[in-house]
Amino acid sequence: MAWLSLQPVTSAFLHFGLVTFVLFLHGLQVDAGLTGDSTSSVQNSSCSGSFDCKEGVILPIWYPENPSLGDKIARVIVYFVALIYMFLGVSIIADRFMASIEVITSQEKEITIKKPNGETTTTTIRIWNETVSNLTLMALGSSAPEILLSLIEVCGHGFVAGDLGPSTIVGSAAFNMFIIIAICVYVIPDGETRKIKHLRVFFVTAAWSIFAYIWLYMILAVFSPGVVQVWEGLLTLFFFPLCVLLAWIADRRLLFYKYMHKKYRTDKHRGIIIESEGDHPKGIEMDGKMMNSHFLDGNLVTMEGKEVDESRKEMIRILKDLKQKHPEKDLDQLVEMANYYALSHQQKSRAFYRIQATRMMTGAGNILKKHAAEQAKRSTSLHEVRPDEPEEFISKIYFDPCSYQCLENCGAVLLTVVRKGGDMSKTIYVDYKTEDGSANAGADYEFTEGTVVLKSGETQKEFSVGIIDDDIFEEDEHFFVRLSNLRVVESEEPPELSNSPYPKAILASPCVATVTILDDDHAGIFTFECDVIHVSESIGVMEVKVLRTSGARGTVIVPFRTVEGTAKGGGEDFEDTYGELEFKNDETVKTVHIKVIDDEEYEKTKNFFIELMSPRMVDMSLQKASRPAVHSCLSCCPYRKTVRVKIVDEEEYERQENFFIALGEPKWMERGISGLGVDLAFTEVAERKLTVEEEEAKRIAEMGKPILGEHPKLEVIIEESYEFKSTVDKLIKKTNLALVVGTHSWRDQFMEAITVSAAGDEDEDESGEERLPSCFDYVMHFLTVFWKVLFACVPPTEYCNGWACFIVSILIIGMLTAVIGDLASHFGCTIGLKDSVTAVVFVAFGTSVPDTFASKAAAIQDVYADASISNVTGSNAVNVFLGIGLAWSVAAIYWASQGQEFQVSAGTLAFSVTLFTIFAFICISVLLYRRRPHLGGELGGPRGCKLATTLLFVSLWLLYILFATLEAYCYIKGF
């Protein structure tokens, strides 16, 4: 299959060799003809190649100028090999150049997105629009040699027009349009298709790519034949930002798109388009998604927010799929696998494909697999190497824990003082003292103060505070215990140590402990800790505490249940739970366990409720053994009551009669105010108005029953897992291709330059593991290691956000392009080829080989055809507007300043432009026809259709080469 996928490339190379051989024979024939008939040479000088080599911009002429046939063959071989080696050098430095462009265009900014429910969230998006970056920096990166060659040729030869630069641009456009697209059509697996996603952008760039060459012909042959005026050059250059602007407008659906809120239908009887009122434009592209905005529930959601949500959903889907396939893997391993999978399958930029193609071609390996292997090694090393905690030289003294709870009948509470860090051989003294809170010393607890001594080697010490029990019902109360007056017993030690500027021990937080006294005289109040609790969906089983306050006497049962809110029970969001909590005597806390289902959602806010129902007393026999009778309705025994019934003695001899004692329904009576020593009967409470003290006592007495407290209903809000969300966010950041292709230091660049790696395809496996390099990898590495090491001196892409690498790389590309122009010109004159033919056949082919492999990879790996087709049409337009527009503008301005005109011969260039325009129109028409349903898309489709399209496009390129060559040598008449 690999061989079949490379057949179009192999065919192109064979055709290239055949054309080279034919042209070489033609050069020898011309050489023989010139030696035999000098007169004929003069007459046909404009129709035959010249053997007079000119001084290059950098390279001098190779003397003697008229070598023998053997020397000429040797020179041709040297020039040809040097040309190929320079093409390799340009490809490698273009690799650095494209890496800097990827880093520049991957810069991000924070935006605030408003959700349909009114909530706002902050996220990051790329600053550069994809269409703008493809037509500006990306196009400049892939076409920099052609553009700079045209500019250097004009400026380096005294602002005189040459054939090499413009012909290279046209020849490269022909190779891109016909050969690259033919390969992309053919390499799609049988039965699969690729469609252009951003069809509007394709229409704009395709129209501009054809218009650019029509405009070029009009400059050469219509407006001012043979002369390029200043306005023509500047207008050509101005078309470049205009093309970018229109493509951006098409991409963003601006201007007239935003006003198209009408629906149109066809009248069935007359076939007339009828306008009717409609909704907002759907904006459906090839993937069924809206291009600029979305209307959800009447709210407008920006495209940026939609793209962010889609990328998150895709990352979550990848994580879930990998988790199901590999349940034995831990989270870190799954993250690395997801990172490699996302990098391999996400839509990549034009720069990435160009870099990947160059590195795989030169033995630098598959950058995705190398990145995945490096990430795995880095993760392993971080797990293995754990930095030691810094040694603490100061002892810290504090309470641990800082909060204590105890029943009032516990007798005493123990508090713990701990020592952490520092010199454990020291003896430390610290004072403690109790302080009143709502509890009062002498009434609720025993006032306590003293000193804790932590001897040598001791890390903690306990002391106790007495708790006073009473029979009066009261609310829970608290008091404090404070540490103070820390002292360290100094031992005999060297003066240099005793004069240390740092203290040997300090009081650390918490140095104040809180002790809460829980009343045990009555049944208590049952409540949750708060009204609302937030839990992560990854918690598994959540635990909710039910507190028993203001008393802990007797056994009380508290029923509870879960109630659905926006979160659904039955195992969808949580498991339905209900039951009863049984609080034993003196038991103050119970826990409810509820299972929460983990859906692994990026953003989630759903709620349900846990309700406590009326508590009931089970057993009142566990009250205190003695309690004084302070109410008129109580006896001295707290466990029983006595009913007295008087029996009348009638002094009968035999008597047997009966009666019954029946207990009625019990009811909770109002308690007396025991603290005041006053008996309040129920009737008295009802008959007279209570004082403020009595009202307070009554309120406290009512609290003695087992009742529900302040928070009987708890709202549970299920939120997304913070760990899962952060994992997804990290993965999204790690899938930024700038991190893969960019470099962080010169050391990394030199290590990469001298390392040979295997060039494997991404779809061989999902693990991201690297293979061993092949023989071809080693050969290409050693052939290009000079360039790799040399260009490792270019600043890393991390410096100045990639701009330092961008500027240095484009300067080096300019110098290498100047050498390539001289080599191509000398190569052509050595075998008698015209510069226009050399440019169309050799230079255009050499500069387009990396783009060929990049477009092939993009066609196979991408879901859509934009990276392999739209980029070709956009690049062809940019080549004319920048490459020819900039060079001719500079030359026209120079000659205008000299009072002269910039002369440009229209003949061969105008013919090539016309021929390419006709063939390009055929090519684009065929691509649009292939969008019909029975063919499926621009790329791929049925095998027969693929072969027919491929053969047609290759034939168009061969015809272009043939006719351009025949016209250059006057075998056919041009302009």
DSSP codes joined into one string, 549-593: ES---SEEEEEEEEEESSS-TTTTSB---EEEEEE-TT--EEEEE
CA 874 to the chain's CA centroid: 28
Q: What angle do CA 965, 966, 970 make, to 5 degrees?
A: 120
Chunked into runs of 10 residues, the chain (975 residues) has average pLDDT values of 41 46 44 38 48 79 82 89 91 88 82 70 74 80 86 88 86 90 90 85 86 89 88 92 86 58 39 36 39 39 52 69 72 70 69 79 72 63 45 77 81 88 82 87 86 85 85 75 84 47 75 82 80 83 85 83 88 87 83 84 79 78 39 39 74 68 65 39 52 68 71 83 65 66 85 80 49 82 90 90 90 91 87 84 86 85 82 83 90 91 84 90 91 86 90 93 87 74
pLDDT at 472: 66
Contact 669, 682 (CB under 8 A): yes
CA dist., res. 569 & res. 567, Å (int): 7
CA dist., res. 83 & res. 842, Å (int): 9
CA dist., res. 194 & res. 936, Å (int): 8
In one letter, which amino acid is 232? E
DSSP state of 451: E
CA dist., res. 242 & res. 740, Å (int): 33
Place of tokens 């060079």: 887
Q: What angle do CA 833, 839, 843 make, to 5 degrees?
A: 115
Q: Beta strands of 214-261 (E only): which ranges?
A: 227-228
Q: CB within 8 A of 289, min separation 6: which ones?
A: 306, 310
Q: Beta strands of 380-538 (E only): which ranges?
A: 395-399, 403-407, 412-420, 427-436, 449-454, 460-466, 477-489, 505-507, 512-518, 525-528, 532-536
CA dist., res. 315 & res. 733, Å (int): 11
Q: CB within 8 A of 906, min separation 6: which ones?
A: 220, 221, 225, 226, 975
Q: How far, CA to CA in Å, does 17 sit from each of 13, 120, 485, 852, 885?
A: 6, 62, 95, 17, 32
First-residue to last-residue Cα distance in the chain: 46
In one letter, which amino acid is 803? W
Can you tell me whether residue 703 is helix, strand or coil? coil
Contact 220, 904 (CB under 8 A): yes
Tell me which H or E stretch contains 544.
strand 541-549
CA dist., res. 809 & res. 626, Å (int): 96
Alpha-carbon torsion (352, 355, 358, 363), positive or negative: negative
In one letter, which amino acid is 673? I
Radius of gyration of the chain (CA): 44
Q: What are the structure tokens assigned to 304, written together?
A: 């940026």
CA 656 to the chain's CA centroid: 97
Q: Beta strands of 709-808 (E only): which ranges?
A: 713-719
**Which of 535, 504, 515 has its CA nearest to residue 468?**
515
Work out the burial of residue 202: count CB atoms within 10 Å of its CB; fewer than 13 is exposed, 13-18 middle, 19 or more buried: buried
CA dist., res. 544 & res. 640, Å (int): 38
pLDDT at 495: 43
Work out the burial of residue 113: count CB atoms within 10 Å of its CB; fewer than 13 is exposed, 13-18 middle, 19 or more buried: middle
Q: What angle do CA 741, 747, 753 make, to 5 degrees?
A: 60
Counting runs of H as helices and runs of E as strands, what totals does the chain give? 27, 29
DSSP state of 669: P
Kindly report the number of other CB atoms within 10 A of residue 889's CB atom.
Answer: 22
Kindly report the number of other CB atoms within 10 A of residue 65's CB atom.
Answer: 10
Can you tell me whether residue 138 is helix, strand or coil? helix
Place of tokens 């909710």: 544
Work out the burial of residue 4: count CB atoms within 10 Å of its CB; fewer than 13 is exposed, 13-18 middle, 19 or more buried: exposed
User: Model's pTM, two decimal places?
Assistant: 0.62
Q: CB within 8 A of 324, min separation 6: which ones?
A: none
CA dist., res. 337 & res. 601, Å (int): 19
pLDDT at 32: 38
Alpha-carbon torsion (466, 471, 474, 475), positive or negative: positive
Place of tokens 């024979």: 25
**Which of 93, 101, 110, 173 has its CA nearest to residue 132?**
101
pLDDT at 859: 86
pLDDT at 889: 92
- CA atoms in the 13 A half-sphere facing the CB of 44: 18
3-state DSSP of 840-879? HHHHHHHHHHHHHHHHHHHHHHCCECHHHHHHHHHHHHHH
Q: Please state the φ and ψ torsions of residue 457, each to the nearest 5 degrees.
A: 90, -15
Q: How far, CA to CA in Å, does 798 sit from each of 107, 369, 801, 804?
A: 11, 21, 5, 9
Beta bridge partners of 609: 563, 715
Q: Please state the φ and ψ torsions of residue 302, each to the nearest 5 degrees.
A: -65, 160
pLDDT at 730: 64
Give the relative orientation of helices 367-384 and 350-361 as an angle to the nearest 10 degrees. Answer: 90
Kindly report the number of other CB atoms within 10 A of residue 185's CB atom.
Answer: 30
521-555 burial: b if 16+ Cβ within 10 Å, else e: bbbbbbbbeeeeeebbbbeeebebebbbbbbbbbb
CA dist., res. 141 & res. 147, Å (int): 10
Q: How far, CA to CA in Å, does 612 sit from each of 36, 37, 314, 546?
A: 114, 114, 41, 9
Q: What are the structure tokens assigned to 850, written together?
A: 């990396």
